[in-house]
Amino acid sequence: MVRSFSETEKDNIKDKLIIECEKSWASYGYKKTNIGELCTKVGISKGAFYLFFDSKELLFCNVLDNIQERLIYLIEKTFTKTPSKEDICIMLKQIYLEYDKTNILSQRNSSEFITFLNRAPVEWKEKSQIINDNFILETIFNSNLQLKMDKQKAMGIFNALLSVVTNKETIGYDHFEVFNTLLESVIDKIYE
């Protein structure tokens, strides 16, 4: 028999499930993240899990929604009404560190992530911006700064820079320092 929870308990347990799922997903991937293990860590039965989420995929959608909220917060915290090139660099560095910390966003091209997306609810996929970098890049290009090149080319450069995190094991040097160096060397070529 599934025990009943107060609304406060439900909110706390749901938050804990999201936190534990993010940690597990970042460490072990989508397929190896086990709902039973998450429930044990949070202190509920596996049957009780379905009081909080209808499926494993909905839990993962909530994890990505939380990550998206953090990224939006980073953007809003960094950007002024008239962001400078330095503001854009600071924001991209913070986003890079978030990608590195979660390790989930850098998995977006993996077969496991694609499996998750294939199982995720269509309504969520239609409203979610986290499954691509465009919401970050659109914010960058909605600034007052003038581009020195085609917008698509600039987007490609920023995407390539952010992809350093997916290759950090093969770089052979401090990957964040490499990212910083590359960013600082191209920012003046992208913007006036």
pLDDT digits (tens, 9 = 90+) for 49-101: 999 999 999 999 999 999 888 888 888 787 767 788 888 898 889 889 988 88
Find residue 191's DSSP bridge partners.
147
Q: What pLDDT, on a 0 to 100 scale, did the predictor assign at position 83? A: 81
Predicted TM-score (pTM) of the model is: 0.82
What is the C-alpha separation between 107 and 37, in angstroms, rounded?
Answer: 22
Band the pLDDT of 168: cuts 50, 70, 90. Answer: confident
Band the pLDDT of 145: cuts 50, 70, 90. Answer: confident
Domains of the chain: 1-53 (1.10.10.60), 55-190 (1.10.357)
Find residue 12's DSSP bridge partners.
none
What helix, strand, coil percent values describe the chain, rounded to 5? 70, 0, 25
Beta strand segments in the chain, E:
none
Q: What pLDDT, on a 0 to 100 scale, did the predictor assign at position 51? A: 92
More confident residue, 141 or 153: 153
